[in-house]
A and B are shown apart, each in its own frame.
Chain A
Amino acid sequence: KAGVTQTPRYLIKTRGQQVTLSCSPISGHRSVSWYQQTPGQGLQFLFEYFSETQRNKGNFPGRFSGRQFSNSRSEMNVSTLELGDSALYLCASSLDGGTGNRQYFGPGTRLTVT
């Protein structure tokens, strides 16, 4: 089975712009979670989607949003980019996000905001 894929792998944006990142989960996986990884804050949970519905949300401002499509692919959007949004954005998929479900991570999208 192909793993979790994320596109693009690298992105450079200017402050104030918006960005959309894409995640394709492992075939058959219906839960997709997004995380932000920075040297200072570590790995922080953004949100989780299951069956096209946001099921869990982390403590991020409303500029961070996401959605999931009927084929379980997911996108996250960050509007009005700030310098502090520079990070590695990781997507993880699991069968249904239930307890003990193994989460498989993609390689991430490295976002740099200048």
Chain B
Amino acid sequence: QQQVKQSPQSLIVQKGGISIINCAYENTAFDYFPWYQQFPGKGPALLIAIRPDVSEKKEGRFTISFNKSAKQFSLHIMDSQPGDSATYFCAASVQGGKLIFGQGTELSVKP
């Protein structure tokens, strides 16, 4: 019940396209859902996060869509760029410090 399932494992998108990564969870006690971006040799960096009382949050080219009833949330990257090529992780937590991560999606944006 503590799992967060992420798909797809890998994704190839053309420059300018939309990248979509999906996550699903079971634990309804989760109250915070962040997305992290990780480049090789670096630690994960927070991209955007959402609370379950909000259905969508947008920051620049990044949007989280949240469906509480389906227990799913997704990351949309609009106008994807080669510099967005990285591994993306969704995560969830209950009251703070312990993040449960999805398995990660390796995104490649082709020029």
Contacts and interface: CB of A to CB of B under 8 A. Distances in A.
Contact of B41 (A103, A106, A107): A107
B8 to A, nearest CB: 15
Chain B interface size range: 20 to 34
B96 A101 contact: yes
Contact of A105 (B32, B45, B96): B45
Contacts of B91: 43
B32 A102 contact: no
Contacts, number: 70
Given A99-B32, A100-B32, A107 B96 contact: no
B99 A33 contact: yes
A24 interface: no
A56 interface: yes
24 contacts: A31-B96, A31-B97, A42-B101, A42-B102, A42-B104, A43-B99, A45-B98, A45-B99, A45-B100, A50-B97, A55-B97, A58-B98, A92-B99, A94-B96, A97-B96, A98-B96, A99-B32, A99-B95, A99-B96, A100-B49, A101-B97, A102-B34, A104-B46, A106-B43
Interface of B: 31-32, 34, 36, 41-46, 49, 51, 89, 91, 93, 95-104
